[in-house]
Amino acid sequence: MKHIVKIGLAAAGLVALSTAALSDGHSGFEKQIKARQAVMQIYSFNIGSLAAMVKGEAEYDAAKAQGFADNLLAAAKMKNGAMWPQGSDAEALPGKTRALKLNWTNYPEAAKKQEAFVAAAEAASKAASGGMDALKGALGGLGGGCKGCHEKFRKPKE
């Protein structure tokens, strides 16, 4: 009888664990979401630093501008596909991310937007140490690159 009770308790425990695992099947995406949000923070920091120079909020320094632009380009060119697993979208994980499912269902367009952002980052890297006017011109392309993805592929803030 003791054996039957132990087996029954073990079976109940396995059912409970299985149910918990299935109900939170996407919890493995937290690291990927945090990683891609960290990449966005790197973009934001470097673009913000360049924008501060253009707006006169920070003194233009060619070497610093080049460093910010090069960091941005390195982040933009990073192979980050592992950070974007299918099922890690806002619909599947409400409150965890603002990435729309459209990133996956319309991947060719999302990939083109990323390619455009990389091109804008390359232009910024080439222009950054060339003076304020060159930097101003390149900064507009970066803003357009961010907007291109965020307007269509990211859920608006609530």
Task: Give residue 27's pLDDT.
Answer: 64
CA distance linking residue 139 with residue 141, whole number of Å: 5
User: How confident is the model over 76-109, as pLDDT tens digits?
Assistant: 999 999 999 999 999 999 999 999 999 999 999 9
Architecture of domain 28-153: Up-down Bundle (1.20)
Task: Give residue 2's pLDDT.
Answer: 55
Per-residue pLDDT, averaged over 107-115, amounts to 95
CA distance linking residue 83 with residue 89, whole number of Å: 11
Per-residue pLDDT, averaged over 48-69, amounts to 97
Cα Rg, the chain, nearest whole Å = 22
Q: Which residue, among 18, 14, 43, has the nearest Cα to 121 in the 3D structure?
A: 43
Q: What is the value of pTM for the model shown?
A: 0.80
- DSSP of 117-141, one letter per residue? HHHHHHHHHHHGGG-HHHHHHHHHH
Three-point CA angle 48, 72, 148, nearest 5°:
75
Q: Which amino acid is at 109?
A: E
- The contacts of residue 87 (CB under 8 Å, 6+ apart) are 26, 29
**Alpha carbon separation from 82 to 27, 30, 49, 88, 131 (Å, rounded):** 15, 12, 28, 11, 37
Residue 5 has pLDDT above 80, yes or no: no
Boundaries of every domain in the chain: 28-153
Task: Give residue 4's pLDDT.
Answer: 53
Kindly report the average pLDDT of the chain as a whole number.
87
Q: Which residue, among 126, 121, 112, 115, has the nearest Cα to 142 in the 3D structure?
A: 121
| Rounded-to-10 torsion of CA 104, 109, 110, 113 | 180
